Amino acid sequence: MKYRTKLILCFSAGTIAGAAAIAGFAFKKPVPAESAVEVKEGGKIEYKWYTPDLPKSLDFCGEKVPLNRWEVRERLDRDLIVNYYAHGGTLYMLKNANRYFPMIEERLKANGVPDDFKYVCAAESSLQPAATSTVGAASMWQFMKDTGPRYGLEINEDVDERYNVAKATDAACAYFKDSYKKFGSWTAAAASYNCGQGGYNNQVTFQGGATFYDMVFPEETNRYIFRILSLKVIMSQPKAWGFMLDASDGYKPIKTRTVTVTETVANLSDFAKQNGSSYKMLKLLNPWLRSRTLPVKAGKRYEIEFPVDGQ
């Protein structure tokens, strides 16, 4: 085995061992004779994985999570384990949060929606702006094609504002406020984002539960709230959970300049070049532009983002 190969393998083993040590000793009092990593006969490495401790108390938008109930604790435990041990995905989400959370937090506040709903966005798409689902939900907030227009989003073959993060956040806020008015609970509003307002109302009518935690839903919705809660626990204190990101590690918000368009753009590639940029950069910063042209009706206007000089 060449030295370079040995060095890479040793480094990789050390990295994994470090992660195992964090997993083992950050959440469980170590036993003196116990190690998080053990070298077995023949040089095989055996890692020991531990379950993280549940928080002593937890809330969503100020609404208490009843952790005194065994079924609630076990559901939270399941998704906390899943999201904690999904190291790569969680790290990548945390890096993206540095770029997108400031804008999402600003829009939530402006719309009078609690800050905790940013974790709904994380649960929906892992903060991936181009995320799509097998049933047709799209973008960071995973709006369905028939739901978006009801909350002010333009969706057609040329423009799909589900991919405009700021506008989609405003639309999601309108949905949450609408659901809160219907059900009287932010937790219910979040759950209804997964199963639909009609679906949530059907369960309330049939079961008569006082809160989300008093009822049973389809498994996807049952897990949905606990995925949101587990992401809140981890992402609100990442270093306490062993995710050692410094401020400089996160992806930075992209500085842009805005060009207002009031007339049809026949060729978006030419338009990008005319504005000192490229078609690739135009599509990256404006994923809501879905075709190669931008038809503009009389009285309509669009704002297109371009990077500032040097980006």
- Whether 54 is covered by a domain: the verdict is no
Clarify whether residues 213 and 282 are in a common domain. no
Clarify whether residues 163 and 40 are in a common domain. no
Domain carrying residue 7: 3-47
Beta-carbon contacts of residue 20 (< 8 Å; ≥ 6 apart): 36, 37, 47, 48, 49
Clarify whether residues 73 and 112 are in a common domain. yes
- Whether 14 is covered by a domain: the verdict is yes
Q: Tell me what the mean pLDDT of segment 211-216 comes to.
A: 96
DSSP letters for 16-85: HHHHHHHHHHTTSPPPTT--SEEE-GGG-EEE---PPPPPS--EETTEEP-TTSHHHHHHHHHHHHHHHH
> What is the distance between the alpha carbons of residues 91 and 101, in angstroms, rounded to a whole number?
15
Can you give the pTM of this predicted structure?
0.84
Clarify whether residues 293 and 145 are in a common domain. no
Q: How many residues does the chain have?
A: 311
Candidates 265, 268, 267; CA nearest to 297 is 265
Under the banding of pLDDT at 50, 70 and 90, the label for residue 1 is: very low
Q: Tell me what the mean pLDDT of segment 2-22 comes to.
A: 42
For 158-213, the pLDDT digits (tens) are 999 999 999 999 999 999 999 999 999 999 999 999 999 999 999 999 999 899 99
- CATH assignment of the domain containing 177: 1.10.530.10
Clarify whether residues 238 and 149 are in a common domain. yes
User: What's the structural domain count of the chain?
Assistant: 3
